[in-house]
Structure 1
Amino acid sequence: MTLSYLPGDSLAHRLDPRTKLAFQVAFAAAAFAHTTPRGLLALTAVAFVVLRASGLGARETLVGYRFVFPFLLAGPLLSALTLGPPWLRVEQGFESLLASYRVVLVLFASAAYLRTTPVRDSRAAIQHLVPGKTGRLLGTGVGFVFRFLPVLQADLRRIRDASAARLGDQRGLVERMRLVGVSGLARALSRSDRFALALRARCFAWNPTLPHLSLSRTDVPVAVVSLGLLAWAIV
Protein backbone atom coordinates (compact mmCIF):
# COMPACT_ATOMS: atom_id res chain seq x y z
CA MET A 1 0.00 0.00 0.00
CA THR A 2 1.48 3.30 -1.11
CA LEU A 3 0.94 6.42 0.97
CA SER A 4 0.28 9.19 -1.51
CA TYR A 5 -2.15 12.06 -1.99
CA LEU A 6 -5.82 11.13 -1.97
CA PRO A 7 -8.47 13.85 -2.47
CA GLY A 8 -10.79 14.30 0.46
CA ASP A 9 -12.59 16.72 2.74
CA SER A 10 -10.93 16.00 6.06
CA LEU A 11 -9.66 18.71 8.38
CA ALA A 12 -6.08 18.11 7.25
CA HIS A 13 -7.10 18.46 3.59
CA ARG A 14 -8.40 21.97 4.28
CA LEU A 15 -5.20 23.19 5.93
CA ASP A 16 -2.64 25.35 4.16
CA PRO A 17 0.43 23.25 3.23
CA ARG A 18 2.70 25.76 4.98
CA THR A 19 0.84 25.13 8.22
CA LYS A 20 1.24 21.39 7.77
CA LEU A 21 4.97 21.75 7.06
CA ALA A 22 5.40 23.85 10.21
CA PHE A 23 3.59 21.19 12.22
CA GLN A 24 5.85 18.49 10.76
CA VAL A 25 8.96 20.36 11.89
CA ALA A 26 7.57 21.12 15.35
CA PHE A 27 6.37 17.53 15.89
CA ALA A 28 9.72 16.04 14.84
CA ALA A 29 11.60 18.50 17.08
CA ALA A 30 9.43 17.57 20.06
CA ALA A 31 9.85 13.85 19.35
CA PHE A 32 13.65 14.11 19.23
CA ALA A 33 13.79 16.37 22.29
CA HIS A 34 11.56 14.21 24.51
CA THR A 35 12.51 10.59 23.93
CA THR A 36 11.11 9.46 27.27
CA PRO A 37 8.13 7.18 28.00
CA ARG A 38 6.05 10.11 29.23
CA GLY A 39 6.98 12.37 26.33
CA LEU A 40 6.39 9.68 23.72
CA LEU A 41 3.04 8.81 25.30
CA ALA A 42 1.91 12.42 24.91
CA LEU A 43 3.16 12.51 21.32
CA THR A 44 1.38 9.22 20.60
CA ALA A 45 -1.92 10.88 21.50
CA VAL A 46 -1.06 13.80 19.21
CA ALA A 47 -0.10 11.43 16.37
CA PHE A 48 -3.41 9.56 16.59
CA VAL A 49 -5.31 12.85 16.51
CA VAL A 50 -3.34 13.81 13.40
CA LEU A 51 -4.18 10.49 11.72
CA ARG A 52 -7.84 10.91 12.59
CA ALA A 53 -7.87 14.47 11.23
CA SER A 54 -6.41 13.25 7.93
CA GLY A 55 -8.73 10.27 7.48
CA LEU A 56 -5.93 7.73 7.94
CA GLY A 57 -5.91 4.66 10.14
CA ALA A 58 -2.94 3.48 12.20
CA ARG A 59 -3.05 0.03 10.59
CA GLU A 60 -3.05 1.47 7.07
CA THR A 61 -0.09 3.68 7.96
CA LEU A 62 1.88 0.81 9.48
CA VAL A 63 1.30 -1.29 6.37
CA GLY A 64 2.44 1.59 4.17
CA TYR A 65 5.71 1.94 6.11
CA ARG A 66 6.28 -1.76 6.77
CA PHE A 67 9.60 -1.75 4.89
CA VAL A 68 11.30 0.36 7.59
CA PHE A 69 10.34 -1.79 10.57
CA PRO A 70 13.11 -4.40 10.17
CA PHE A 71 15.65 -1.59 10.52
CA LEU A 72 13.81 -0.04 13.48
CA LEU A 73 13.70 -3.40 15.27
CA ALA A 74 17.31 -4.26 14.47
CA GLY A 75 18.60 -1.19 16.33
CA PRO A 76 17.27 -2.16 19.80
CA LEU A 77 18.38 -5.76 19.33
CA LEU A 78 21.93 -4.79 18.39
CA SER A 79 22.09 -2.24 21.21
CA ALA A 80 20.98 -4.80 23.79
CA LEU A 81 23.28 -7.66 22.75
CA THR A 82 26.89 -7.83 23.94
CA LEU A 83 29.78 -10.17 23.10
CA GLY A 84 30.34 -11.06 26.74
CA PRO A 85 28.61 -11.17 30.11
CA PRO A 86 25.90 -10.11 30.84
CA TRP A 87 25.16 -10.77 27.10
CA LEU A 88 22.01 -8.68 27.22
CA ARG A 89 21.88 -5.01 28.28
CA VAL A 90 18.21 -4.31 28.82
CA GLU A 91 18.65 -0.62 29.63
CA GLN A 92 20.53 0.19 26.42
CA GLY A 93 18.06 -1.85 24.39
CA PHE A 94 15.12 -0.01 25.95
CA GLU A 95 16.63 3.39 25.15
CA SER A 96 17.16 2.33 21.54
CA LEU A 97 13.59 1.01 21.41
CA LEU A 98 12.28 4.40 22.51
CA ALA A 99 14.32 6.04 19.75
CA SER A 100 12.85 3.64 17.17
CA TYR A 101 9.33 4.31 18.42
CA ARG A 102 10.02 8.03 18.08
CA VAL A 103 10.70 7.47 14.38
CA VAL A 104 7.37 5.62 14.04
CA LEU A 105 5.51 8.63 15.43
CA VAL A 106 7.27 10.97 13.01
CA LEU A 107 6.31 8.63 10.17
CA PHE A 108 2.68 8.84 11.31
CA ALA A 109 2.77 12.62 11.01
CA SER A 110 4.48 12.46 7.61
CA ALA A 111 1.90 9.94 6.36
CA ALA A 112 -0.89 12.38 7.22
CA TYR A 113 0.92 15.09 5.25
CA LEU A 114 1.45 12.88 2.21
CA ARG A 115 -2.16 11.70 2.16
CA THR A 116 -3.68 15.20 2.39
CA THR A 117 -1.31 17.44 0.39
CA PRO A 118 -1.07 17.57 -3.42
CA VAL A 119 2.43 17.60 -4.87
CA ARG A 120 1.93 21.04 -6.46
CA ASP A 121 0.86 22.48 -3.11
CA SER A 122 3.97 21.08 -1.43
CA ARG A 123 6.16 22.64 -4.09
CA ALA A 124 4.35 25.97 -3.77
CA ALA A 125 4.72 25.93 0.03
CA ILE A 126 8.45 25.27 -0.13
CA GLN A 127 9.03 27.99 -2.72
CA HIS A 128 7.04 30.42 -0.57
CA LEU A 129 9.11 29.59 2.50
CA VAL A 130 12.54 29.44 0.79
CA PRO A 131 13.04 32.32 -1.65
CA GLY A 132 15.12 32.42 -4.81
CA LYS A 133 16.74 29.64 -6.78
CA THR A 134 17.26 27.57 -3.64
CA GLY A 135 13.52 27.41 -3.03
CA ARG A 136 12.82 26.51 -6.66
CA LEU A 137 15.42 23.76 -6.52
CA LEU A 138 14.03 22.34 -3.25
CA GLY A 139 10.44 22.59 -4.45
CA THR A 140 11.25 20.87 -7.72
CA GLY A 141 13.18 18.11 -5.94
CA VAL A 142 10.35 17.44 -3.51
CA GLY A 143 7.86 17.33 -6.37
CA PHE A 144 10.02 14.82 -8.27
CA VAL A 145 10.42 12.58 -5.22
CA PHE A 146 6.70 12.59 -4.38
CA ARG A 147 5.82 11.67 -7.96
CA PHE A 148 8.66 9.22 -8.63
CA LEU A 149 8.87 7.25 -5.38
CA PRO A 150 5.37 5.65 -5.56
CA VAL A 151 6.16 4.51 -9.12
CA LEU A 152 9.40 2.85 -7.96
CA GLN A 153 7.60 1.17 -5.07
CA ALA A 154 5.00 -0.21 -7.47
CA ASP A 155 7.80 -1.51 -9.72
CA LEU A 156 9.42 -3.33 -6.80
CA ARG A 157 6.09 -4.94 -5.86
CA ARG A 158 5.56 -6.12 -9.43
CA ILE A 159 9.11 -7.54 -9.60
CA ARG A 160 8.59 -9.36 -6.30
CA ASP A 161 5.21 -10.77 -7.40
CA ALA A 162 6.64 -11.87 -10.76
CA SER A 163 9.51 -13.62 -9.00
CA ALA A 164 7.11 -15.38 -6.63
CA ALA A 165 4.97 -16.52 -9.58
CA ARG A 166 8.10 -18.19 -11.00
CA LEU A 167 8.84 -19.96 -7.68
CA GLY A 168 11.37 -17.31 -6.77
CA ASP A 169 10.03 -17.29 -3.21
CA GLN A 170 11.61 -20.74 -2.76
CA ARG A 171 15.10 -19.27 -3.18
CA GLY A 172 17.22 -18.14 -0.27
CA LEU A 173 16.72 -14.72 1.28
CA VAL A 174 19.98 -13.30 -0.07
CA GLU A 175 19.22 -14.52 -3.58
CA ARG A 176 15.71 -13.05 -3.48
CA MET A 177 17.08 -9.71 -2.26
CA ARG A 178 19.69 -9.72 -5.03
CA LEU A 179 17.13 -10.42 -7.76
CA VAL A 180 14.67 -7.78 -6.57
CA GLY A 181 17.44 -5.23 -5.92
CA VAL A 182 19.18 -5.62 -9.29
CA SER A 183 15.91 -5.67 -11.22
CA GLY A 184 14.59 -2.70 -9.25
CA LEU A 185 17.76 -0.69 -9.91
CA ALA A 186 17.59 -1.44 -13.62
CA ARG A 187 13.93 -0.38 -13.70
CA ALA A 188 14.72 2.82 -11.77
CA LEU A 189 17.49 3.78 -14.21
CA SER A 190 15.20 3.10 -17.16
CA ARG A 191 12.41 5.19 -15.67
CA SER A 192 14.79 8.05 -14.86
CA ASP A 193 15.86 8.20 -18.52
CA ARG A 194 12.24 8.32 -19.68
CA PHE A 195 11.45 10.86 -16.98
CA ALA A 196 14.22 13.18 -18.18
CA LEU A 197 13.04 12.79 -21.77
CA ALA A 198 9.46 13.61 -20.75
CA LEU A 199 10.63 16.76 -18.95
CA ARG A 200 12.46 17.97 -22.05
CA ALA A 201 9.48 17.14 -24.28
CA ARG A 202 7.21 19.21 -22.05
CA CYS A 203 9.64 22.16 -21.91
CA PHE A 204 10.12 21.82 -18.15
CA ALA A 205 10.09 25.23 -16.42
CA TRP A 206 11.88 26.10 -13.21
CA ASN A 207 9.28 28.70 -12.31
CA PRO A 208 5.82 27.47 -13.34
CA THR A 209 2.50 28.97 -12.26
CA LEU A 210 1.90 27.40 -8.86
CA PRO A 211 -1.40 27.22 -6.98
CA HIS A 212 -2.35 30.18 -4.81
CA LEU A 213 -1.93 29.54 -1.08
CA SER A 214 -3.89 31.31 1.62
CA LEU A 215 -4.22 30.85 5.37
CA SER A 216 -7.65 30.52 6.96
CA ARG A 217 -9.08 30.35 10.46
CA THR A 218 -8.75 26.55 10.31
CA ASP A 219 -4.97 26.97 10.29
CA VAL A 220 -4.88 29.01 13.51
CA PRO A 221 -5.32 26.14 16.04
CA VAL A 222 -2.79 23.99 14.19
CA ALA A 223 -0.30 26.86 14.15
CA VAL A 224 -0.82 27.33 17.91
CA VAL A 225 -0.22 23.61 18.50
CA SER A 226 2.93 23.78 16.35
CA LEU A 227 4.26 26.69 18.40
CA GLY A 228 3.48 24.78 21.57
CA LEU A 229 5.33 21.68 20.36
CA LEU A 230 8.30 23.79 19.30
CA ALA A 231 8.39 25.57 22.67
CA TRP A 232 8.16 22.19 24.43
CA ALA A 233 11.09 20.92 22.37
CA ILE A 234 13.22 23.97 23.24
CA VAL A 235 12.38 23.91 26.93
Structure 2
Amino acid sequence: MITERSIARTPVRPQLPTTMLTYAPDDTLAHRLDPRSKLAVQIGFAATALAHTGPRALVALTAVAGAILVAARVSPLEALYAYRYALVFLAIAPVLAALTLGSPWIDLEDGIVSARASYRVLLILFVSAAYVRSTPVRASRAAIQRTIPGKPGQLLGIGVALVFRFLPVLRADLRTIRDAMAARLGDERGAVDRAGTIGVLGLTRAFERADRLALAMQARCFAWNPTLPALAFSRVDYPVLALAAFLALSALL
Protein backbone atom coordinates (compact mmCIF):
# COMPACT_ATOMS: atom_id res chain seq x y z
CA MET A 1 0.00 0.00 0.00
CA ILE A 2 1.32 3.42 -0.95
CA THR A 3 1.36 5.89 1.95
CA GLU A 4 2.87 9.29 2.66
CA ARG A 5 5.58 7.69 4.80
CA SER A 6 6.57 5.19 2.13
CA ILE A 7 6.72 7.92 -0.49
CA ALA A 8 8.90 10.05 1.78
CA ARG A 9 11.42 7.16 2.05
CA THR A 10 11.46 6.53 -1.68
CA PRO A 11 14.60 7.86 -3.39
CA VAL A 12 13.78 10.36 -6.10
CA ARG A 13 15.23 9.62 -9.50
CA PRO A 14 17.04 12.50 -11.16
CA GLN A 15 14.82 14.58 -13.43
CA LEU A 16 15.61 16.13 -16.74
CA PRO A 17 16.58 19.79 -16.44
CA THR A 18 13.80 20.94 -18.76
CA THR A 19 10.79 19.58 -16.84
CA MET A 20 9.44 23.08 -16.28
CA LEU A 21 10.31 26.63 -17.19
CA THR A 22 11.57 28.64 -14.23
CA TYR A 23 13.78 31.68 -13.80
CA ALA A 24 17.40 31.05 -14.76
CA PRO A 25 20.09 33.72 -14.22
CA ASP A 26 21.74 34.75 -17.45
CA ASP A 27 23.08 37.78 -19.31
CA THR A 28 20.69 37.78 -22.25
CA LEU A 29 18.91 40.85 -23.61
CA ALA A 30 15.67 39.76 -21.95
CA HIS A 31 17.39 39.41 -18.56
CA ARG A 32 18.67 42.99 -18.78
CA LEU A 33 15.24 44.47 -19.46
CA ASP A 34 13.04 46.05 -16.82
CA PRO A 35 10.19 43.66 -15.92
CA ARG A 36 7.65 46.40 -16.67
CA SER A 37 8.88 46.53 -20.27
CA LYS A 38 8.47 42.77 -20.60
CA LEU A 39 4.97 42.87 -19.10
CA ALA A 40 4.02 45.61 -21.57
CA VAL A 41 5.26 43.50 -24.49
CA GLN A 42 3.28 40.51 -23.22
CA ILE A 43 0.08 42.54 -22.96
CA GLY A 44 0.57 44.13 -26.37
CA PHE A 45 1.42 40.81 -27.99
CA ALA A 46 -1.62 39.08 -26.48
CA ALA A 47 -3.92 41.91 -27.59
CA THR A 48 -2.56 41.79 -31.14
CA ALA A 49 -2.70 37.99 -31.32
CA LEU A 50 -6.35 37.97 -30.27
CA ALA A 51 -7.30 40.82 -32.60
CA HIS A 52 -5.65 39.66 -35.83
CA THR A 53 -6.48 36.22 -37.19
CA GLY A 54 -5.28 36.39 -40.79
CA PRO A 55 -2.44 34.22 -42.15
CA ARG A 56 -0.09 37.18 -42.70
CA ALA A 57 -0.69 38.38 -39.15
CA LEU A 58 0.11 34.90 -37.82
CA VAL A 59 3.37 34.85 -39.78
CA ALA A 60 4.36 38.24 -38.34
CA LEU A 61 3.41 37.17 -34.81
CA THR A 62 5.42 33.99 -35.23
CA ALA A 63 8.49 36.03 -36.16
CA VAL A 64 8.01 38.30 -33.14
CA ALA A 65 7.54 35.34 -30.78
CA GLY A 66 10.65 33.67 -32.21
CA ALA A 67 12.69 36.82 -31.67
CA ILE A 68 11.47 37.03 -28.07
CA LEU A 69 12.48 33.41 -27.43
CA VAL A 70 15.93 34.10 -28.88
CA ALA A 71 16.28 37.22 -26.72
CA ALA A 72 15.56 35.13 -23.59
CA ARG A 73 17.59 32.14 -24.84
CA VAL A 74 14.64 29.76 -24.54
CA SER A 75 14.47 26.72 -26.80
CA PRO A 76 11.10 26.28 -28.57
CA LEU A 77 11.29 22.56 -27.83
CA GLU A 78 11.80 23.30 -24.14
CA ALA A 79 8.79 25.61 -24.16
CA LEU A 80 6.67 22.99 -25.94
CA TYR A 81 7.66 20.38 -23.39
CA ALA A 82 6.87 22.72 -20.51
CA TYR A 83 3.39 23.38 -21.95
CA ARG A 84 2.80 19.81 -23.12
CA TYR A 85 -0.43 19.42 -21.13
CA ALA A 86 -1.87 22.63 -22.56
CA LEU A 87 -0.87 21.45 -26.04
CA VAL A 88 -3.23 18.49 -25.70
CA PHE A 89 -6.22 20.81 -25.34
CA LEU A 90 -4.96 23.12 -28.08
CA ALA A 91 -4.69 20.14 -30.43
CA ILE A 92 -8.10 18.69 -29.54
CA ALA A 93 -9.97 22.00 -29.96
CA PRO A 94 -9.74 22.16 -33.81
CA VAL A 95 -10.88 18.53 -34.09
CA LEU A 96 -13.93 19.14 -31.91
CA ALA A 97 -14.70 22.38 -33.75
CA ALA A 98 -14.63 20.62 -37.13
CA LEU A 99 -17.06 17.89 -36.07
CA THR A 100 -20.78 18.46 -36.72
CA LEU A 101 -23.84 16.53 -35.60
CA GLY A 102 -25.17 16.16 -39.14
CA SER A 103 -24.08 16.22 -42.74
CA PRO A 104 -21.35 16.92 -43.82
CA TRP A 105 -20.11 15.72 -40.35
CA ILE A 106 -16.81 17.58 -40.75
CA ASP A 107 -16.65 21.35 -41.28
CA LEU A 108 -13.11 22.17 -42.36
CA GLU A 109 -13.69 25.92 -42.18
CA ASP A 110 -14.61 25.80 -38.49
CA GLY A 111 -11.65 23.52 -37.84
CA ILE A 112 -9.25 25.94 -39.55
CA VAL A 113 -10.62 28.89 -37.56
CA SER A 114 -10.16 26.94 -34.31
CA ALA A 115 -6.66 25.83 -35.35
CA ARG A 116 -5.65 29.44 -35.90
CA ALA A 117 -7.00 30.34 -32.47
CA SER A 118 -5.03 27.49 -30.88
CA TYR A 119 -1.88 28.61 -32.66
CA ARG A 120 -2.34 32.17 -31.40
CA VAL A 121 -2.63 30.86 -27.84
CA LEU A 122 0.55 28.83 -28.38
CA LEU A 123 2.42 31.97 -29.46
CA ILE A 124 1.22 33.78 -26.33
CA LEU A 125 2.50 30.87 -24.23
CA PHE A 126 5.89 31.15 -25.94
CA VAL A 127 6.12 34.83 -25.02
CA SER A 128 5.16 34.07 -21.42
CA ALA A 129 7.83 31.35 -21.31
CA ALA A 130 10.47 33.92 -22.23
CA TYR A 131 9.22 36.19 -19.46
CA VAL A 132 9.28 33.45 -16.81
CA ARG A 133 12.77 32.34 -17.80
CA SER A 134 14.23 35.88 -17.72
CA THR A 135 12.46 37.52 -14.76
CA PRO A 136 13.03 36.86 -11.03
CA VAL A 137 9.92 36.42 -8.89
CA ARG A 138 10.70 39.45 -6.72
CA ALA A 139 11.16 41.61 -9.81
CA SER A 140 7.74 40.54 -11.12
CA ARG A 141 6.15 41.41 -7.79
CA ALA A 142 7.90 44.79 -7.76
CA ALA A 143 6.73 45.55 -11.30
CA ILE A 144 3.10 44.71 -10.48
CA GLN A 145 2.98 46.59 -7.18
CA ARG A 146 4.54 49.71 -8.70
CA THR A 147 2.24 49.64 -11.71
CA ILE A 148 -1.02 49.01 -9.82
CA PRO A 149 -1.21 51.29 -6.76
CA GLY A 150 -2.65 50.46 -3.35
CA LYS A 151 -3.84 47.19 -1.87
CA PRO A 152 -4.99 45.70 -5.22
CA GLY A 153 -1.45 45.88 -6.57
CA GLN A 154 0.01 44.44 -3.38
CA LEU A 155 -2.50 41.58 -3.36
CA LEU A 156 -1.89 40.82 -7.04
CA GLY A 157 1.88 40.98 -6.61
CA ILE A 158 1.79 38.61 -3.65
CA GLY A 159 -0.45 36.20 -5.56
CA VAL A 160 1.87 36.12 -8.57
CA ALA A 161 4.93 35.61 -6.36
CA LEU A 162 3.32 32.75 -4.44
CA VAL A 163 2.16 31.02 -7.63
CA PHE A 164 5.63 31.21 -9.19
CA ARG A 165 7.20 29.78 -6.04
CA PHE A 166 4.51 27.28 -5.03
CA LEU A 167 3.64 25.66 -8.38
CA PRO A 168 7.10 24.11 -9.05
CA VAL A 169 7.06 22.60 -5.54
CA LEU A 170 3.66 20.99 -6.13
CA ARG A 171 4.80 19.61 -9.47
CA ALA A 172 7.88 18.11 -7.81
CA ASP A 173 5.63 16.47 -5.19
CA LEU A 174 3.47 14.90 -7.91
CA ARG A 175 6.57 13.55 -9.64
CA THR A 176 7.75 12.06 -6.35
CA ILE A 177 4.39 10.34 -5.82
CA ARG A 178 4.40 9.02 -9.39
CA ASP A 179 7.96 7.68 -9.06
CA ALA A 180 7.09 6.00 -5.76
CA MET A 181 4.12 4.27 -7.37
CA ALA A 182 6.27 3.12 -10.29
CA ALA A 183 8.89 1.72 -7.89
CA ARG A 184 6.15 -0.39 -6.25
CA LEU A 185 4.66 -1.53 -9.59
CA GLY A 186 1.83 0.93 -9.15
CA ASP A 187 1.98 1.71 -12.85
CA GLU A 188 0.45 -1.74 -13.50
CA ARG A 189 -2.78 -0.74 -11.76
CA GLY A 190 -5.77 0.71 -13.58
CA ALA A 191 -5.72 4.28 -14.83
CA VAL A 192 -8.61 5.34 -12.57
CA ASP A 193 -6.94 3.79 -9.53
CA ARG A 194 -3.63 5.51 -10.31
CA ALA A 195 -5.31 8.86 -10.90
CA GLY A 196 -7.24 8.57 -7.63
CA THR A 197 -4.13 7.71 -5.63
CA ILE A 198 -2.08 10.53 -7.17
CA GLY A 199 -4.95 12.98 -6.70
CA VAL A 200 -5.53 12.17 -3.03
CA LEU A 201 -1.85 12.16 -2.10
CA GLY A 202 -1.23 15.27 -4.21
CA LEU A 203 -3.99 17.20 -2.44
CA THR A 204 -2.70 16.02 0.94
CA ARG A 205 0.78 17.27 0.08
CA ALA A 206 -0.65 20.57 -1.22
CA PHE A 207 -2.57 21.27 2.00
CA GLU A 208 0.47 20.37 4.11
CA ARG A 209 2.64 22.67 2.01
CA ALA A 210 0.08 25.46 2.36
CA ASP A 211 -0.02 25.07 6.17
CA ARG A 212 3.78 25.17 6.37
CA LEU A 213 3.87 28.18 4.05
CA ALA A 214 1.37 30.06 6.23
CA LEU A 215 3.39 29.22 9.37
CA ALA A 216 6.63 30.32 7.70
CA MET A 217 5.06 33.61 6.58
CA GLN A 218 3.90 34.29 10.15
CA ALA A 219 7.31 33.36 11.62
CA ARG A 220 9.01 35.81 9.26
CA CYS A 221 6.56 38.63 10.05
CA PHE A 222 5.12 38.68 6.55
CA ALA A 223 4.74 42.27 5.33
CA TRP A 224 2.32 43.58 2.75
CA ASN A 225 4.81 46.15 1.53
CA PRO A 226 8.36 44.79 1.88
CA THR A 227 11.49 46.34 0.45
CA LEU A 228 11.38 45.30 -3.18
CA PRO A 229 14.23 45.53 -5.71
CA ALA A 230 14.71 48.89 -7.35
CA LEU A 231 13.45 49.15 -10.93
CA ALA A 232 14.70 51.59 -13.53
CA PHE A 233 14.38 51.84 -17.29
CA SER A 234 17.62 51.70 -19.27
CA ARG A 235 18.37 52.56 -22.88
CA VAL A 236 17.52 49.04 -24.07
CA ASP A 237 14.06 49.34 -22.52
CA TYR A 238 12.86 52.21 -24.69
CA PRO A 239 12.86 50.28 -28.00
CA VAL A 240 11.04 47.45 -26.20
CA LEU A 241 8.44 49.88 -24.85
CA ALA A 242 8.03 51.25 -28.38
CA LEU A 243 7.44 47.69 -29.62
CA ALA A 244 4.86 47.15 -26.88
CA ALA A 245 3.07 50.37 -27.86
CA PHE A 246 3.12 49.37 -31.53
CA LEU A 247 1.65 45.94 -30.72
CA ALA A 248 -1.07 47.49 -28.58
CA LEU A 249 -1.98 50.04 -31.25
CA SER A 250 -1.97 47.42 -33.99
CA ALA A 251 -4.70 45.57 -32.08
CA LEU A 252 -6.96 48.60 -32.61
CA LEU A 253 -6.35 48.84 -36.38
TM-score when scaled to structure 1?
A: 0.96
**How big is the shift at 1:68?**
0.9
- Aligned counterparts, 1:109-188, within 5 A: 109-188=127-206
Structure 1 residues 146, 35: CA separation in 2 closer, same or farther (over 3 Å shift)? same
User: Which of 37, 56, 81 is the equivalent residue of 1:19?
Assistant: 37
- Show CA shifts across 1:34-72 (max 9, x none): 122221111111111000000111001111111111111
- CA deviation profile, 1:169-196 (whole Å, cap 9, x unmatched): 3333333332222221221111111111
What is the distance in 1 between the residues matched to 2:53 and 2:181?
Answer: 41
Unaligned runs of 5+ in 1: none
Question: What is the percent sequence identity of the aligned residues?
Answer: 60
Match of 2:100 among 62, 69, 82: 82
Distance 2:158 2:25 in 1: 22
Tell me by how many angstroms 1:113 deviates.
Answer: 0.5
User: What are the superposed Cα offsets for residues 143-162 of structure 1, whole Å, 9 maximum, x if unpaired?
Assistant: 11111011111112222222
Q: Runs of 4+ in structure 1 displaced over 6 angstroms?
A: none
- The whole-number CA distance in structure 1 between the counterparts of 2:100 and 2:123 is 28
Worse-matched range after superposition: 22-31 or 155-164: 155-164
Distance 1:217 1:57, change over 3 A: same
Measure, in 2, the Cα distance between the counterparts of 1:165 and 1:88. 45
3-state DSSP of counterpart to 1:185: helix
> 2:39 aligned with 1:36, yes or no?
no
SS at match of 1:31: helix
Q: Does 1:229 align with 2:247?
A: yes
Between 1:163-172 and 1:197-206, the stretch displaced more is 163-172
Give the Cα–Cα distance (whole angstroms) in 2 for the partners of residues 87 and 18 of structure 1.
48
Change (3 A) 1:54 1:221: same
Q: State the 1:10 CA deviation.
A: 0.1
Q: Which amino acid aligns with 2:216?
A: A
Query: Structure 1 stretch 186-195 or stretch 9-18: which is displaced more?
Result: 186-195
Q: Distance between the aligned counterparts of 1:103 and 1:163, measured in 2?
A: 34
Local SS of the residue matching 2:251 = helix
Q: CA deviation at 1:74?
A: 1.8
State yes or no: 1:62 paired with 2:85.
Answer: no
* Secondary structure of the structure 2 residue equivalent to 1:211: coil
- Alignment length (residue pairs): 235
The verdict on how the C-alpha distance between 1:100 and 1:11 changes in structure 2, with shifts beyond 3 A counting, is same
Two-structure CA RMSD over aligned residues (Å): 1.2
Offset, 1:101? 0.9
C-alpha separation in 1, matches of 2:160 and 2:83: 19
Structure 2 residue 122 is matched with structure 1 residue 104: yes
